[in-house]
A and B are shown apart, each in its own frame.
Chain A
């Protein structure tokens, strides 16, 4: 609680600090204009003591990179301006920047850290698990195909029709499903699909959400109106329903079309092609939320005096948006996108569960659940494995999101 209140008090400061951080480089201004910028956004009683500040700030920020993506606030910490340089350094150690403080708080969140570890484990498993698994085990005399090595029977789309619905064994670590496919290989492939979709959707989500949100918040007017109407529309359409509509109409022909593409065709040919449609649909319904949050914060930042100062200094609008506003959106973007990753993974699994996403011989956690459900009574493990993995990944990402929100955006109430 103490921490939260501290954050709450300090957050307005971080907005203004970035201004001092970026102003000297972004505007081709003399130290005087920097001074105005600094003065105007500090508390008025402090502005009187600011006479020596321009040089100090100018030196500090001109040395370092103006915009470090991960840590825009580290350069200038909460330093009372009256202190001499040595004392300032000590002060900085005692009072880390808001970003560092948030990271420290996030690291203290045990649930989030365990979840992060689990998610990293799953990512590693999805990426390097299959190649390793392909080299484990000896050759196996298949009844139908002669001798086959582990690179074949440990691949996710190989059907060993004489070994259907087996329990875990040395050959098949998690057993096989109703078509004699290796459960572990399919799980890893399903994870890879989930993560790929989550990544693709998040790129679109952040890209579109931030750019349109900033434009709407900064300019207002018709962009804002259009965004507001559009978000209303998307909220009226339950997101998944839109995705069902889109995949339902375009999914099958996407399979025919995308498989023919030269570069990505190989990856998309195994029943994965409708993933493109699924990702598009999920991205389409997720960015308005991001845009709405970004717009709200942009409206607040726009009113800050350092923006006014940048205007006065003649900084073009685009530059103000990208170098002064966007870096300050970091907190809200990282929290919102983590939350929406969980939604995306659920969405992909759900669509595949309904038979609208990945199809055979491709694999997805949702598809595995759907396959298992028909034989639930006899072979419950076929369903339980993918369900547990999906539950684990979704829960972990929500916990990470909660942790990030508590650390970076303490004002919002969940």
Chain B
């Protein structure tokens, strides 16, 4: 939130009032979305079947203790009161209290997973962009040659297939490499944010697999956008006045093609986040996705709710960021 407001203040000075109005509009929409997401998450937990407290006590059911626990969790309040409490807690970065083990903060359970998941997503996005954009540009420049056909064929298949299918095949490949005697860790993550060779061995394969789905998306998008821009009159003019092809492509075409690519980051985030659930599952990475799935089997709703809200808010802010970038890159937004 602070970051966003900060960005806004900078942009306010730079771009004038229209930009600010645009951002304020987005922020209002954003608040609405955050409220909606928290409400849906809350209400699902509220209507969750069964009595988790009763269940966790099992045979040692004790009505007095049950009452006390219900009070401690706030379950004896009416729903709007509970929702308000929930929101107030969230505003203080308190994600609630877990059912399993009892009374332990949800954050305690998730805190080991968060850096791992963030690391995976961050590197995955970087790999996506570093692979997707250049390959898309090459495909556009060499449109309708074998380079283009091959690239787009690979991208088409990778784009259509869910990430876990690729992950399964990669996992089989890794197992095979491991068997040949080179030795390669099959699953796990190593130390988060550490990059010694043994840590890298753990990380390279999942990150590349993770980036592959996004790469396909980006390569296709970059290619089609670049092709569209390369057809424009100003590109022909640039070529006609004898500019080297490199200048035409990178300074004239790419700069215009980059705008839709930036807005697409928002869409990409959603894609990557869902992908990460499967990548973490198949490569047994102890990130938040695996913790959440484990929580499902324990009926530990607060953990599921917390993950949902964290991820949804992360995606929303990612979208906002891409909106801001969009406004910075494309001056036309000001006149709209």
Give the CA-CA distance A342 to B157 in the complex, in Å: 13
Looking at the assembled complex, report how far the CB atom of B157 sits from the nearest CB atom of chain A, in whole angstroms.
7
B50: CB under 8 A from chain A? yes
B278: CB under 8 A from chain A? yes
Chain B residue total in the interface (Cβ 8 A): 51
A263: CB under 8 A from chain B? no
The listed residue (A233, A350, A395, A398) touching B36 by CB distance below 8 A is: A233
The listed residue (B50, B278, B299, B305) touching A245 by CB distance below 8 A is: B305
The listed residue (B164, B224, B312, B316) touching A369 by CB distance below 8 A is: B164
Tell whether, in the assembled complex, residue B161 and residue A249 are in contact, meaning their CB atoms are under 8 Å apart.
no
A387: CB under 8 A from chain B? yes
Q: Which residues of B contact A377 (CB under 8 A)?
A: 175, 179, 186
Give the CA-CA distance A165 to B275 in the complex, in Å: 30
Tell whether, in the assembled complex, residue A245 and residue B44 are in contact, meaning their CB atoms are under 8 Å apart.
yes
Tell whether, in the assembled complex, residue B312 and residue A237 are in contact, meaning their CB atoms are under 8 Å apart.
yes
Given the known interface contacts A233-B33, A249-B301, A342-B160, the answer about A244 and B292 at a Cβ–Cβ threshold of 8 Å is yes
Q: Which residues of A contact B297 (CB under 8 A)?
A: 355
Tell whether, in the assembled complex, residue A245 and residue B41 are in contact, meaning their CB atoms are under 8 Å apart.
yes
Given the known interface contacts A249-B45, A349-B162, the answer about A232 and B29 at a Cβ–Cβ threshold of 8 Å is yes
B172: CB under 8 A from chain A? yes
Return the chain B residue nearest A251 by Cβ. B296
Give the CA-CA distance A356 to B296 in the complex, in Å: 8
Tell whether, in the assembled complex, residue A384 and residue B315 are in contact, meaning their CB atoms are under 8 Å apart.
no
Tell whether, in the assembled complex, residue A350 and residue B293 are in contact, meaning their CB atoms are under 8 Å apart.
no
A376: CB under 8 A from chain B? yes
Tell whether, in the assembled complex, residue B44 and residue A346 are in contact, meaning their CB atoms are under 8 Å apart.
no
Q: Which residues of B contact A353 (CB under 8 A)?
A: 164, 278, 281
Q: Which residues of A contact B37 (CB under 8 A)?
A: 233, 236-237
Looking at the assembled complex, report how far the CB atom of B307 sits from the nearest CB atom of chain A, in whole angstroms.
8
Tell whether, in the assembled complex, residue B49 and residue A356 are in contact, meaning their CB atoms are under 8 Å apart.
no
Give the CA-CA distance A244 to B291 in the complex, in Å: 13
Give the CA-CA distance A356 to B168 in the complex, in Å: 19
A37: CB under 8 A from chain B? no
Q: Mark B220-264, 1 if CB is under 8 A from A, else 0.
A: 100010000000000000000000000000000000000000000
Give the CA-CA distance A247 to B304 in the complex, in Å: 11
Tell whether, in the assembled complex, residue B171 and residue A373 are in contact, meaning their CB atoms are under 8 Å apart.
yes
Tell whether, in the assembled complex, residue B168 and residue A253 are in contact, meaning their CB atoms are under 8 Å apart.
no
| CB within 8 Å: A-B pair count | 130
Give the CA-CA distance A185 to B182 in the complex, in Å: 38
Tell whether, in the assembled complex, residue A384 and residue B172 are in contact, meaning their CB atoms are under 8 Å apart.
yes
Q: Which residues of B contact A237 (CB under 8 A)?
A: 37, 40, 308, 312, 315
B210: CB under 8 A from chain A? no
Q: Which residues of B contact A252 (CB under 8 A)?
A: 299
Tell whether, in the assembled complex, residue A394 and residue B296 are in contact, meaning their CB atoms are under 8 Å apart.
no
Tell whether, in the assembled complex, residue A350 and residue B162 are in contact, meaning their CB atoms are under 8 Å apart.
yes
A391: CB under 8 A from chain B? yes
Given the known interface contacts A244-B304, A383-B172, the answer about A232 and B33 at a Cβ–Cβ threshold of 8 Å is yes
Given the known interface contacts A245-B304, A355-B296, the answer about A236 and B33 at a Cβ–Cβ threshold of 8 Å is yes
Tell whether, in the assembled complex, residue A380 and residue B164 are in contact, meaning their CB atoms are under 8 Å apart.
no
Of residues 269 through 284 on chain B, the ones whose CB sits less than 8 Å from some CB of chain A are 270-271, 273-274, 277-278, 281-282
Given the known interface contacts A229-B32, A252-B299, the answer about A390 and B165 at a Cβ–Cβ threshold of 8 Å is yes
Q: Mark B312-327, 1 if CB is under 8 A from A, else 0.
A: 1001100100000000
Tell whether, in the assembled complex, residue B169 and residue A354 are in contact, meaning their CB atoms are under 8 Å apart.
no
Q: Which residues of A contact B270 (CB under 8 A)?
A: 235, 238-239
Of residues 324 through 360 on chain A, the ones whose CB sits less than 8 Å from some CB of chain B are 342, 346, 349-350, 353-356
The listed residue (B48, B165, B169, B277) touching A249 by CB distance below 8 A is: B48
Looking at the assembled complex, report how far the CB atom of A356 sits from the nearest CB atom of chain B, in whole angstroms.
6
B87: CB under 8 A from chain A? no
Give the CA-CA distance A342 to B274 in the complex, in Å: 15
Q: Which residues of B contact A242 (CB under 8 A)?
A: 40, 308
Tell whether, in the assembled complex, residue B224 and residue A354 are in contact, meaning their CB atoms are under 8 Å apart.
no
Give the CA-CA distance A229 to B169 in the complex, in Å: 39
10 nearest A-B residue pairs (beta carbon): A398-B160, A248-B296, A253-B49, A240-B274, A238-B270, A346-B162, A233-B36, A238-B274, A249-B48, A248-B304
- Listed A/B pairs (13) with beta-carbon separation below 8 Å: A233-B36, A244-B292, A244-B293, A245-B305, A342-B160, A350-B164, A350-B274, A350-B277, A354-B281, A354-B293, A355-B297, A380-B175, A391-B165
19 additional A-B pairs beyond A239-B270, A373-B171, A395-B160, beta carbons within 8 Å, are: A229-B36, A233-B33, A233-B37, A238-B311, A238-B315, A241-B274, A242-B40, A247-B296, A248-B292, A250-B48, A353-B164, A354-B278, A369-B164, A369-B168, A373-B168, A380-B172, A387-B168, A390-B162, A395-B157
Q: Which B residues lie at the A interface, using CB under 8 A?
A: 29, 32-33, 36-37, 40-41, 44-45, 48-50, 157, 160-162, 164-165, 168-169, 171-172, 175, 179, 186, 220, 224, 270-271, 273-274, 277-278, 281-282, 292-293, 295-297, 299, 301, 304-305, 307-308, 311-312, 315-316, 319
